[in-house]
Amino acid sequence: MNRENEIIAEDKHEFSAIDVDDGISFLADNIQSSIPPDPSTLCSIYRVPDNLKKGYEDKYEPSAVSIGPYHHAKQNLKITEKNKLWYLGKFMSRSTPPQMTSLKDMVKAVKNLEEKARACYAEEIHLSSDDFVKMMVIDGCFILELFYRKWENRKEDLIYSAPWVIETVKQDLVLLENQLPLSVLLCLYRLIHTPRSLDPDRFLMIMVTEFFPMSLSKLISRENMVESSHLLDFLRNCLIPCKYNPISSPILPGIVDFYSAKDLREMGVKFKRESKTPFLDVTFEEGYLAFDFIPHETIYSLFPNWIALEQCHRHFKGCITSYIILLGQLVNSKDDTKILRKSEMYFGNENEDDKFVTEIKMLCQRVMTSTFPCDNIPKLVATDKEQTCTTGM
């Protein structure tokens, strides 16, 4: 090989090395750009995990109205889009002098919240800025007008005039995948709210608890709604006792050694409904197991989505999940529901006892929690000592 050929070979080797290095750098840059940022501290609206959702999609997906981006523009939900716009118009008409609020004012206010609103969703939302803000405004005004019309007992529209429609809409509004950031609702509400004896946030809170299908009036213990992330979170917060001292020990479904209501009764334990305490407080004193049984209808709609929220949200302790595990141990058969009904702790229809038991078992089998409420109850029963434990905060 002459000198000229040697130089050519060296150049080819050098260029080949450069090509390989460029390829590696490009690949590294590509991987680096794919690394997602840390989850936002605002993140609170999730898609329900498959381990909870599979086979039970009807408990987690809307069937009448879409709220927010996850089910936006789905074909089977488009029929309610015109109703949303009609409700928006009615909500706008509530603006009164001297500070009339225009639709432009609403769009501008929500536009200022867009970045924070997007951060509330666990998934990246592939909507343009205009489409996202439009969706927030329409969906938010629709929800607020629903609350107002329930409060005012106005039923002259397509939603309230058909009982099955409004009940379906109510269920859709408590789905984890169908939530709107509460900051957006509060923003729109404060723009329209006219002076009343109650402060704006508290009045909205009362309207919310009047709207949903469980009696929460006695549970309004917070001065405002600011601490909650969305409606489902707010309803959950209404149930959680102010103090939460969980018993920390990893619990897997099906391994908790606990007694059914029938077993406890045979051991001499009596049941007592304690309606003056928060729902999630459970006590065992002087041979009485006492707590306030949560309305049975919530088992079919709210509970699956509360549990999904607790399973997804890293900052939440599983107090609702723990409570359902407790119920799962107490209620093994129709005999257990009869005992609880006799103690006025359960008011479900007798014809639905099998459904109720099946529902609780289904929820228990699909979750895990790091805390279990009253896991010392068996010991307390055996020793007949007076002690107290709680399922909630």
Average pLDDT of span 374-379: 54
With beta carbons less than 8 A apart as the criterion, state whether 70 and 177 touch: yes
Residues 6+ apart with CB under 8 A from 313: 44, 46
Q: What's the pLDDT band for 237 if we cut at 50, 70, 90?
A: confident
Residue 229 CA to residue 237 CA, distance in Å, equals 10
Average pLDDT of span 289-305: 80
Residue 267 CA to residue 252 CA, distance in Å, equals 26
Please list, residue by residue across 77-115, b when 16 or more beta carbons sit within 10 angstroms of its beta carbon and e when fewer do.
Answer: beebeebbeebbebbbeebeeeeebeeeebeebbbebee
Q: How many helices (H) and strands (E) does the chain have?
A: 16, 6
Instruction: Specify the pTM.
Output: 0.82
Per the document, the length of the chain is 393
Strand partners, 389: 282
pLDDT the model gives residue 284: 76
Residues 6+ apart with CB under 8 A from 358: none
Average pLDDT of span 234-242: 77
Strand partners, 271: 289
Residue 246: cis peptide before it, omega within 30 degrees of 0: no
Q: What's the pLDDT band for 386 if we cut at 50, 70, 90?
A: very low
User: Cα 100 to chain center, whole Å?
Assistant: 34
φ/ψ (deg, to 5) at 390: -125, 155
Strand partners, 390: 281
With beta carbons less than 8 A apart as the criterion, state whether 269 and 287 touch: yes
pLDDT the model gives residue 195: 58
In the chain, the percentage of residues whose pLDDT exceeds 70 is 74
Q: For residue 257, what is the DSSP state? A: -
Q: Which is it for strands 288-291 and 369-371: parallel, antiparallel or unpaired?
A: unpaired
Residue 171 CA to residue 60 CA, distance in Å, equals 10
Instruction: Give the CA-trace dihedral at 22, 24, 25, 30, to 10 degrees.
Output: 120
Which has more pLDDT, 248 or 222? 222
φ/ψ (deg, to 5) at 96: -125, 155
With beta carbons less than 8 A apart as the criterion, state whether 254 and 261 touch: no
3-state secondary structure of 351: helix
pLDDT the model gives residue 258: 66
User: To the nearest whole number, what is the mean pLDDT of the chain?
Assistant: 80
Which has more pLDDT, 344 or 183? 183
N-to-C CA span, the chain? 83
| Residues 64-89 pLDDT 10s | 999 999 999 899 998 889 999 999 99
pLDDT the model gives residue 40: 62
Residue 195: cis peptide before it, omega within 30 degrees of 0: no
